Amino acid sequence: MQYTLISDKTKIDDLLGKESRHGNFVYQYDADTITLLKRNFSLPDSLYIWVTNDDEFVGFVSCDRDWWEDGCFFLREIFVDPAFQGHGLGKSLVSRCIDHAEGKGALTLVTQTAFENIPMQKLCESLDFQRWENPQWDDGITYKLFLK
């Protein structure tokens, strides 16, 4: 696997239409998500990683400081191609975000996921994220990892 820091936000366009499924849960990158990712790309301390295997796209992750609590990073996106799920790539990507947030002095790392996204819930719990009652979002589950 090759992990590459994205240095040009136009690379994010390559995510458009990429899709992942687990049971009834389907996630697909649409134009609105691409626009949001591009907007947050230029935020100070943002991290965007593209993963390939033999030049084939297999994963993506991003985190940034665009969260309403001070000292917090937001794990905005994580995507692992279905053919590469279950092999630790998601854990590796989230671990890189944890290391990045800690290195930037963050106190917490937060992420949100759909109620139906069982793989993400299991991943968060395996990395000691705690379910957190988010007063600003109730469309899914919010997880928070305390870093310090």
Longest CA pairwise span in the chain (Å): 43
**pLDDT at res. 21:** 83
Rounded CA-CA distance 48/94 in Å is 11
Domain-wise residue ranges, the chain: 2-146
Give the domain 2-146 fold. Aminopeptidase (3.40.630)
pLDDT digits (tens, 9 = 90+) for 67-89: 888 999 999 999 999 999 989 99
pLDDT band for position 15 (cuts 50, 70, 90): very high
pLDDT digits (tens, 9 = 90+) for 25-36: 899 999 999 999
pLDDT digits (tens, 9 = 90+) for 36-55: 999 999 999 999 999 999 99
20 SS3 class:
strand
Phi first, then psi, for residue 66 (nearest 5°) are -75, 75
Rounded CA-CA distance 111/95 in Å is 13
**pLDDT at res. 50:** 98
pTM: 0.94
**pLDDT at res. 83:** 92
Angle in degrees, CA 80, 83, 86, rounded to 5: 65
Choice among 2-6, 30-34, 100-104, 115-119 with the minimum mean pLDDT: 115-119
Report which DSSP code applies to 98.
Answer: H
